Amino acid sequence: MKIVTMTYSNQEQVRAFLENQNVVLKGLTLVAVEDGIKGIVNTADFKTITYLNAVDSKTEADLSKAISQFLLVDDESHFNTYEEVYAFINAQKSRVYSLDHFKAFMHELYDIQFALPCVHIGGTNGKGSTTNYTKQVLMEAGYKVGCFTSPALVRRTDIIKVNDIPISEELLVAISNHFMDIWVAHELSLFEIEMFICVIHFLMNHVDIALFEVGLGGTLDATNIIKPLLAVNTNIGLDHIDYLGDTYESIAENKAGIIKEGVDYMTGETREVCLDVFKKETEKHHSQLFVIDHPQSYEVNDGIDYDYHGYHIHLNTLAVYQVDNSALAINILEYIRPYFNWRDDNLIDGLAHAFWAGRFEKISDKPLIYIDGAHNKEGMTAFYESAKHFHEPHIIFSALRDKDTHHMMEILCSLSSHVTVTQFSHYRAQTAELLAEDFDVEIDPDWHHAIDEALTKDHVILITGSLYFISQVRPYLISRLSLVK
C-alpha cells in the first residue's frame, strides 16, 4: 500500500494523466479502478494529484481503512468521533423549498453521482421494503449493492450500506473531516450532507449498483440528483400533507418529480387520478410508464406464499403487505435484468432470505411479540391485514403529530379492546393524551412502562406506529428480553 504524489504545471496535464490511466474525472475526489488497482484521486488544486495504490489490499476492510487514512492526510481534524459528526450534521438546516442549491454544488464536483448505476425508489409506503427485496436478490446474484434508506432503526450509519454493511464510523468521520469546509461554504442541509457522504462511500467501494430510497416526496428530496436506470413509485397515500399537498393528485405530482428525461417510471399505484399524473409526466419526459400487475392471491402459513410471473415465491414474513412490495421488486429486477443479469434461483432465494427490521418483525416467541412501523393511515390499513389473525392482542401505539392518527386509532380499536397509547422522544411526536382522543384506550406516557406492563399479561403483543418510535422500542425490547432469559 502506498500513496503517490505527482505535481503538474497545469490542469490540462492533470486531465491528460487521468485519461491515460482510464480514470474518470469526478471532481475533488475521484475513484480509480484499473486492472485491480483501486483507490481515490484528489485534485484539490488541479495541479497536484495524490492517489492511493491499493493493489496489495487483500480485503475490502483493508481498502476501507486505507481510504480513511488517505482522507485524513493533510485534513484538519474537525471531528474525532461519529457523535461529533452527527451533532454537526443535525445542526444544519433542513431544506425542503429548493434542490437547486444542492444540484449546483454537485455540478461543481463534476456530478460524481452520475457515475453510479442506480435505481430510484419512492412512494408513500413500502419503498424501504421494495428496496430491500431488490437488494437481496442482486446480492444473491453476486453483485455489490449500495443502499441508501431511511430512517435508521439502530444507528444513523445504517442508512448507508454496502452489501448490508453500514458505513464505518471511522470512515464517516474521515469523509466529514475531508469535506466539512465545502459543506459549510455551500450551506448544505443535513439530508444533502448524508446523500453526499453516501455517494462518496458508494464510489469508494465500487458498488455494481446503488439503490436510493426517496426520503420525502420526490421533487425536492436530496436523492433527486441522480439519473437512474429506472425510477419507481410504490404507491400514493395521504402522508406529509403539510409538505406534499392534501390530495392524491398533488402528492402524486410531487412523487413524480423523480421522473427524468428518458428514464422509465414504474409504479404499483392503481388510482386513476394518480396514474393520470404519471402518464402526463412520463410523456413530458419522453419516458415509458409501467403499471405493474398485482398478485391475485396468497397463502399465509409459516410465511407467505404466492405465484407471480411464473415464479413460486415464499416470503419469510407474516406481513401480507410485503406481497405487493416483493412483486414490485420482481418487476424492477426484470426491468434491469439486461444490465444486471440474475438466475431464477437468485430471485427465489433472495426473496425468501430477505429480512427487513421493524416491518411486522417477530421479536419474541414467548411471549409472542411483533413490531411494525405502520406510520400512517395506509400503513395502518396494511398492518390490520396481518394483525387481524390474532385474537385480542395487546397493542401499544405511538405516532408523530402530523399523521392522520384518528383513522389509525379507529383501525387499532377495531382490532382489539386492549390498546395502550404512549409517547416517545422526538420533536414531532404526538402526546399520548392527544393520541387517545375519546377512544376507550389506556394512556401511558412512558413507553418503557407500557411495554413492561404488557409483558406481565398473557396476550400477543403488537407494537406499532412511527418508525422513529419503533427504532427506540426495538433495542429496548431485545435487551429487556435477553435479561429475562
Q: Which of 82-96, 417-431, 470-484 has the highest mean pLDDT?
A: 417-431
**Mean pLDDT of the residues in the chain:** 85
Identify which has the larger pLDDT, 74 or 277.
Answer: 277
- For the chain, what percent of residues have pLDDT higher than 70? 82
Q: Could you give the domains of the chain?
A: 2-74 (no CATH), 83-353 (3.40.1190.10), 361-484 (3.90.190.20)
pLDDT, tens digit (0-9, with 9 covering 90-100), for 348-386: 999 999 998 999 999 999 999 999 999 899 999 999 999
Report the distance separating Cα 240 and Cα 379, nearest Å: 13
Q: Which DSSP letter does residue 73 get? A: T
Counting DSSP H helices and E strands in the chain, the numbers are: 17, 21
- For the chain, what percent of residues have pLDDT higher than 90? 64
Cβ atoms 342, 138 nearer than 8 A: yes
At residue 40, the pLDDT reads: 41
pLDDT at 93 over 80: no
At residue 62, the pLDDT reads: 52
Average pLDDT over residues 106-130: 91
Report the distance separating Cα 91 and Cα 198, nearest Å: 19
At residue 408, the pLDDT reads: 96
pLDDT, tens digit (0-9, with 9 covering 90-100), for 321-350: 999 999 999 999 999 999 999 999 999 999
Average pLDDT over residues 419-447: 96
Average pLDDT over residues 22-28: 36
Nine cell digits for residue 135: 437488494
Strands (E) located in 234-360: 265-267, 289-291, 299-300, 304-308, 311-315
pLDDT at 449 over 80: yes
Q: Alpha-carbon torsion 442, 443, 447, 449, what sign?
A: negative
pLDDT, tens digit (0-9, with 9 covering 90-100), for 97-108: 678 889 999 988
Cβ atoms 67, 32 nearer than 8 A: no
Cβ atoms 422, 396 nearer than 8 A: yes
Closest CA to 385 of 461, 326, 298, 321: 321
pLDDT at 411 over 50: yes
At residue 101, the pLDDT reads: 87
pLDDT at 305 over 80: yes
Report the distance separating Cα 209 and Cα 228, nearest Å: 10
Report the distance separating Cα 350 and Cα 344, nearest Å: 10
User: In the structure, what pLDDT confidence band is assigned to residue 110 with cuts at 50, 70 and 90?
Assistant: confident
